[in-house]
Structure 1
Amino acid sequence: MTTPRESVLTAADHQHGLPAVELRAVTRTYAAGPQQVRALDGVSVAFPAGSWTAVMGPSGSGKSTLLHCAAGLERVTSGQVLLGGQDITTAGDADLTALRRREIGFVFQSFNLIGSLTAEQNVALPLKLAGARPSTKDVRAVLAAVGLDDRRRHRPRELSGGQQQRVAIARAMVTRPRVLFADEPTGALDSAAARKVLGLLRELVTAGQSIVMVTHDPAAAAAADSVVFLRDGRIVGHAAAPTAREVADRLARLEA
């Protein structure tokens, strides 16, 4: 797979050995009535540039909170979040919004496509929101890269679940983000569609993209380069290139 234009930011990360994104002693607490819930408890982790990391853990372990804090969607209570070495923890709301539009791609389990727009229009939307004039050539190139050039005029209801998720990935990639965050990207797909989406993510990583993915599926996690395990808001383990069985066994022990 080739992306429309090389990501200069990702190339710079490789050159200088910087992590794509890094959390340093990050804590995130929420008010729950009179008490405080600590969703993340002093988490320190670096996600290497040009790699694919899966984040797993039991329900309530802090997976989604970690993803949202790393992507700048949630403010941390304490600690630091660095994107390509840049501390984004104290960035103002306007700067953070601009940074997310420019350097972060996000893929959701529920696709979040606009039903009244075609695939091509959905992919172009982030560029329009950022105040840029979308290049038809670039938009179509991204759709072609995910195998949907012949579906560019179709609306979401005319596409299968797997096709909708590939449109969502193209939409996340069109801005050439430094990091692609994925929250259960295969959770709403059947096994065949999930394999296609995981294959596409692998192609993106081979081309130099950095991916951080939350998943509950051991097979999806095993497709990544490495897996980080969470429990009770803390990192409790790491595995490099594990099999699906190894991931499932580790997760079962954490849940027990």
Structure 2
Amino acid sequence: MDHRLATRSAVELHQVTRLYGAEDTGVAALDNVSLSCPAGTWTAVMGPSGSGKSTLLHCAAGLDRVTSGRVLLAGRDITAAPDSTLTELRRRTIGFVFQNFNLISSLSAEQNVAFPLKLAGARVSKSDVRRVLAGVGLADRAGHKPRELSGGQQQRVAIARAMISRPAVLFADEPTGALDSHSAKVVLELLRDLVRTAGQSIVMVTHDPAVAAGADTVVFLADGRIVDRVDRPTTWDVAERLARLES
């Protein structure tokens, strides 16, 4: 069975709290959050600045430890998993797109995309690498290094790198934030195609209502808590709810 579809939920958070600072005086970035993201769907997370969006993403992906509660990733409880297990999961089970690209400056775009596969000891298909680069509009930039690419192009390389291994869950923090409107449309269409035709699971943080409207479900956070959600969203639905929270 395809590992992406082996469980009904790609990500589950059960009464998750994440405190920063001392327990009695600390700040709750997440406050008793429960969330289930079904496998093969695209969930967008939105909310005002400081609402806990990135913390939720990092806890769900095993990049940050929760203070209390449970986190299941692709059906596996990672709440108390050792660092070695989390490292292996990050190599084989998830993909992550960061806001700041995190490309290796000495490698070409093609080599950056292939790097996670090599790190995991997996077979690297040059044609697959080129296909993914073409999918984000960079077929003619395969040999270019990050310093030879614009910020938007570097972000697209980072997205291609995250997608090359077809992870169980693709986590994305503002994946189109550095892209022009045309490039953003290409990337969003590719993400939607991954969900629709390949059963890819995506959990994404974004500030852009138009980007969030591409998701199956949008979850809204405020003060570390889930306060609203909308299924089959439209840009208007998302913008109206977000404006209400920010006011």
Using structure 1 for the length normalisation, give the TM-score.
Answer: 0.89
Cα distance in 1 for residues equivalent to 2:6 and 2:22: 42
- Report the Cα distance in structure 2 between the residues aligned to 1:59 and 1:151, rounded to whole angstroms: 35
3-state DSSP of counterpart to 2:161 = helix
Q: 1:116 to 1:83 in 2, by over 3 A?
A: same
Looking at structure 2, the residues matched to 198 and 132 of structure 1 have their Cα atoms a distance apart, in angstroms, of 27
For residue 101 of structure 1, the aligned residue among 77, 91, 102 is: 91
Identity of aligned residues (%): 72
Deviations 1:14-49 (A, max 9, x none): xxxx11111011010001798201010110000111
The question of whether the paired residues in 2 share the 8 Å contact of 1:224 and 1:241 is answered with yes
Contact in 2 for aligned 1:119/1:152 (Cα 8 Å): yes
Aligned to 1:11: 5
Does residue 1:227 correspond to 2:218, yes or no?
yes
Question: Contact 2:137–2:183 at 8 Å: present in 1 too?
Answer: no
Residue aligning to 1:58: 48
Residue matched to 2:184: 194
Q: Tell me the equivalent position of 1:88.
A: 78
> Where does structure 2 lack aligned partners over 5 or more consecutive residues?
none
Rounded Cα–Cα distance in structure 2 between residues aligned with 1:183 and 1:217: 12
Q: Which runs of 5+ in 1 are unaligned?
A: 1-6
Instruction: Say whether 1:241 aligns with 2:235.
Output: no
Correspondence for 1:42: 32
Letter of the structure 2 residue corresponding to residue 236 of structure 1: V
- Offset of residue 175 of structure 1: 2.2
Greater CA deviation, 176-185 or 147-156? 147-156
How many Å apart are 1:150 and its aligned residue? 3.2
Distance 1:236 1:152, change over 3 A: same
Number of positions where the alignment pairs a residue of Structure 1 with one of Structure 2 = 246
Displacement over 6 Å in runs of 4+: none
Q: What is the RMSD computed on CA atoms of the aligned residues?
A: 2.0
Q: Deviations over 1:166-193 (max 9, x none)?
A: 2212211222210000001112222222
Structure 2 residue 21 is the aligned partner of structure 1 residue 31: yes
Tell me whether 131-140 or 99-108 shows the greater mean CA deviation. 131-140
* Cα gap change, 1:251 to 1:24, in 2 (>3 Å): same
Counterpart CA distance in 1 for 2:34 and 2:108 is: 41
